[in-house]
Structure 1
Amino acid sequence: MTVLTDVQRADSAHQGAAATGLPPPAVPTRARRNPAIRILAESADLALRNLLHLRRSPGLLISCLVEPVMYALLIGYVFGNSLGGPAYRSYMFGGLIAQTVAFTTTFTTVGLARDLEQGMVDRFRALPVSRVALLLGRTTSDLTTCVASVAVTTTCGFLMGWRPHTGPAEVAAGILLVLLFSFAMSWIGVFVALITPNTQVAGSLGLIWLFPATFISSGFVSGETLPGPLPTVADWNPITSLANALRQLFGNIPPPGFPVQHAWPAQHAVLYTAGCSVLLIAVFVTLSTWRYRTRTSR
């Protein structure tokens, strides 16, 4: 039996199309047939689809861009003057970025829940598209949205007096750490969307767990000032470690008299944040793929 190469298949397809007058069918290349490359290509196509879909629902994007400004003004000026003034506003920037990244998770939750409710996922299931590619396309497109939110937050930080005091390598490392953590958080948003029945419940549930996770941390206050067992929770909260890691990488020191944490995650904030991000991705990619399979197989 003769084995045809991709080029020979393409030539045969074009010859057949010339005889019938129809456009030639698409012939997959060897790279496209590779499972890993195929998943990446399908994810890129779906991510582009999600970004183009924002033109029809700009309200979601506006909320992601307006909320960072509101939190920066409220926390930086309403509470900031009693916590250290300009020095506190510079120090809180790491916590503000961590909160922005955490809250953009709701964008993933609502977007995927809407696709599930409107039947878009069922349509994609009729196509030869990988389950992982469908979810990866969602998290990849929402990573772009997170970048926009972080850019707005950074602009607010500059206007409030924040400046990095380290070199370009440390700043670049901080940016990469934010992107990694954002990607991990978006997979939590995927799982929340898959376990909720509709968009309204997904939006509510997506915020219920974010508020305690964000504020029982050292994002804006020292965890040492929290009552009972909450300081320990704040010490090991990944949002705390992201805020501390950014402060270390950007060289932002705490205001005078501000209590400083000494737990292991605070002393190794960059390593702990990266480890937590990788662990969250591994756990929630597995859970989300399993839940997607069980939900769409009904």
Structure 2
Amino acid sequence: MDATALKMFRAVAREGSIGRAAEKLNYVPSNLSVRIKQLEKELQVELFERLPRGMRLTEAGHHLLAYADPILNLMQEAEEATGSGKQPVEKLRLGTVEAAASSALTPLLATLRARYPEARPSVVTGVNHELIDKVVRQELHGAIVYGPLAQPELEYRKLADDELVLASADASVGLAEQLKKPLLFFEVGCSHQATVDSLLEQYGIRYPAITEFGALDTILRGVTAELGVTLLPRSSLEEAEQQGNLAIVELPESYRTLELGFITVARPERSAALQAMLDTVQELSEA
């Protein structure tokens, strides 16, 4: 089993069909089909169920897919770290919840750069459950998420405390009236959805309209334009509040507490760059 065959297998598993996987990899479908059959013959097991429309992983296929991402990611890292005879660098694929990108991630990366300049971080943003899944699948080396988090396959390190608040363009009405306005979120089911549900139930409010936005800046612009209100960490609203663009409405004490943490896969062996990142998290959490 070589890396090319493993990449083909992973693509078919993710796309659910030979045709879509071939298009994504820029292969001829017949060649991809042959390589998958060769891989199954080599492993002496069926990896896919052939359906009238598409393909579905067998139990053996699921087992192989669990190994495919870490194997291919490690191979890519090895190539990047040793290729071209250049000074070795270590790429760090990181994620963060959007609202923590400025307040938590920026100081982390600045400290990391001073501690380990060979690290080359790249960052994606997302909501909690997406980032957790990507770390579990080892598509990301680590991510800043809302915690605390207890999953046996993950290591969680507390990074900072924050406060969940409601942001509105109108400071003249109380929380109950604010919650009747449309809610602006990153997506339905975002990290603060459970808090919103509980608050609405407590105040006896029927679920309001929800508008989804893809970025923090867009949400804040929507709030200042009086399209609705949002719930976000106070640290992500400091600049907008100082500029007088919006008002902060505090939540009942039982809803305020937010914790940010850094997660990575729990395993004894780590790259030097990832270990430097974890040391940086530890340093900043104790500051």
TM-score by length of 2: 0.24
* Structure having the larger proportion of residues in strand: 2
* Structure having the larger proportion of residues in helix: 1
